[in-house]
Amino acid sequence: MGEALAGFWDTYQSTVGYVGLNALLALSVYTSLSCGQLALGSSGFAALGAYAAALLTVQAHWPFPLVLLVALILPAAVAVPLGLPALRLHGVFLAIATIAFGEVVRIGLVNWDYVHGAQGIVAIPQEASVWMIWLALLLALLLLSRLRGSRWGFALEAVREDEPAARTLGIATTRYKLAMLVAGAALAGLAGALEAHFTFMVAPSGFTFGRVVEMLVFAVVGGTQRAWGPVLGAAFLTVLPEALREVAPRVGLEPGPLRLMVNGLVLLAVILFLPAGLASLPQRLRERRAAGRGA
Which residues lie near other proteins (CB under 8 A)?
143, 146-147, 149-152, 154-155, 157-158, 161-162, 164-173
CA–chain centroid gap for 293, Å, is 39
Based on CB atoms, which residue is closest to other proteins, 154 or 200?
154
Based on CB atoms, which residue is closest to other proteins, 54 or 171?
171
Give the single-character DSSP code of 226.
S
- To other proteins, the closest distance from the beta carbon of 146 in angstroms equals 5
Separation of alpha carbons 259 and 272, rounded Å: 20
Give the contacts of 210 (CB within 8 A, at least 6 positions apart).
none
CB 38 within 8 A of CB 92: yes
- To other proteins, the closest distance from the beta carbon of 163 in angstroms equals 10
Count of CA atoms in the C-beta half-sphere (13 A) of 67: 26
CB 40 within 8 A of CB 216: yes
- To other proteins, the closest distance from the beta carbon of 122 in angstroms equals 38
Based on CB atoms, which residue is closest to other proteins, 170 or 294?
170
Based on CB atoms, which residue is closest to other proteins, 165 or 265?
165
Separation of alpha carbons 131 and 217, rounded Å: 25
- To other proteins, the closest distance from the beta carbon of 168 in angstroms equals 5
Based on CB atoms, which residue is closest to other proteins, 65 or 170?
170
- To other proteins, the closest distance from the beta carbon of 171 in angstroms equals 5
Burial (CB < 10 A; 0-12, 13-18, 19+), residue 41, is buried
- To other proteins, the closest distance from the beta carbon of 180 in angstroms equals 13
Give the contacts of 80 (CB within 8 A, at least 6 positions apart).
178, 182
Going by C-alpha positions, the residue among 171, 194, 201, 175 that lies closest to residue 68 is 194
Based on CB atoms, which residue is closest to other proteins, 169 or 261?
169
Separation of alpha carbons 166 and 181, rounded Å: 18
